[in-house]
Amino acid sequence: MQTIKNPDRNQWAELLSRPTQTLGDIEGTVNEIFLDVSENGDAAIKKYTNKFDGVSLDSNVVTSIEIKKAIEQVPEKLQEAIRKAKANIEVFHTAQKTTKIEIETTKGVQCWQEKRPIQKVGLYIPGGTAPLFSTVLMLTVPAQIAGCKEIVLCSPPNKEGELAPEILFAAQLCGVTKIIKVGGIQAIAGLTFGTETIPQVYKIFGPGNQFVTVAKQIATKHGVAIDMPAGPSELLVFADKTANASYVASDLLSQAEHGTDSQVILVSTSESLINDVSEEVSKQLKVLPRKAIAEKAISNSKLIFIENDSLALELIDAYGPEHYIICCENEDLYIDNINNAGSVFIGDYTPESAGDYASGTNHTLPTNGFSKAYSGVNLDSFMKNMTFQKISKEGLLNIGETIELMAEAEGLQAHKNAVTIRLKDLK
């Protein structure tokens, strides 16, 4: 990891840049595949699954037989762990339910807001080097609580044309309505346009690599909503001299092993801690099964010494991390003054892994600085706010002239007339 001491503010943008390709580098490929899928449906899906995943499928729809076989392959202890994690996620997301908001804004003018579920949602579950069955829980649990009627799950198959048993177990546990063996850009295209076997959906959720992230952004041009731009994983740790270096190193490596394009950053007001963490990272890295992946990510990562808390907070906000860990004496300062972060983990005994799996919060979070404007997935992500109003005769008499004057001032005579014609009958 590169160590930087007291970087000049003018260097921050370059220092905090992510190791990702730009939209322009990928957009051409995405548009080409989108066009093919929109015109050729499942035939195009099959072609790209063969090309990118190295397998030719007779059918990309997971059958009940496959699900039954998968359940038998998942050890009972792991099944129990998944159930426990699901329960915690349910508790946290159920608590996010809100009631109808109703108010009389003026005498006779009743306005209210209610929530309705998004009826058709598509969930993207990364496969590849680490099939993320935990993401199945993070997306399907709130979708079910919200009341989504159609929950379509897409995940890339392995070389044998199968999905990880754990993904299938979690999917059936959480009530997914259809499971499709398809990944990458072609999965997002399928959910966007619909094919013979992939239902078209209204909103797409889930993290993925850079290609999936760009594909989701392109999907919005075709009338499909997305949860957020959620690409390669990233983590920023703030730690002072009181932090445990081995804990900090383990947290950095936990995100570095996600993928070669992941990024982890340590910001500290202690040079000695930075040195200790650097040594711990080297030591712990040697024994990781995913050492090669973590090493590549670590090469994109940084140890940054900042001389005071005020500057450190500014730098952290400028980065806007997906995951933000606070390990310091004055933790309240770093909690109260952070504006841009996807999810925050506080104290020596709150590893980021807890949020990834079982504490209850959602791990589908904005990356690449999008935490400055986007929230992570939550119950509201699967719902829409609808407003209603009912105006009585008295109410229209109370606000009618206001509407007429404003409509006339904007030059919208028909708007004014819609009120005037009613007021004449009331006077």
Cα separation values, 324 from 138, 308, 311, 365, Å = 19, 18, 16, 11
Do the annotations mark residue 254 as ligand-binding?
no
Checking phi first, is residue 205 left (phi over 0); if not, alpha (psi -120 to 50) or beta? beta
Q: Whole-angstrom Cα distance, residue 121 to residue 204?
A: 6
Question: How many of the other CB atoms lie within 10 Å of CB of 335?
Answer: 12
Q: Whole-angstrom Cα distance, residue 227 to residue 206?
A: 7
Q: Whole-angstrom Cα distance, residue 225 to residue 217?
A: 9
Sequence-ordered strand ranges (E) for 92-160: 101-106, 109-117, 120-124, 150-155
Handedness of CA 4, 9, 11, 16 (dihedral sign): positive
Tokens of residue 405, six digits: 């004057």
Do the annotations mark residue 93 as ligand-binding?
no
Phi first, then psi: give them for residue 399, nearest 5 degrees: -115, 0
Cα separation values, 152 from 51, 181, 203, 304, 317, Å = 23, 11, 11, 42, 35
Do the annotations mark residue 349 as ligand-binding?
no
Do the annotations mark residue 196 as ligand-binding?
no
Q: Whole-angstrom Cα distance, residue 220 to residue 217?
A: 6
Do the annotations mark residue 417 as ligand-binding?
no
Do the annotations mark residue 124 as ligand-binding?
yes
**DSSP-derived secondary structure letter, 64:** H
* 3 state SS of 5: strand
Do the annotations mark residue 410 as ligand-binding?
yes
Diameter over CA atoms, the chain: 85
177 Cβ contact list (under 8 Å, min separation 6): 149, 150, 151, 152
Do the annotations mark residue 222 as ligand-binding?
no
Which residues are marked as active site?
322-323
Annotated binding site for NAD(+): 124, 186, 209
Annotated binding site for substrate: 233, 255, 258, 323, 356, 410, 415
Annotated binding site: 124, 186, 209, 233, 255, 258, 323, 356, 410, 415
Annotated binding site for Zn(2+): 255, 258, 356, 415
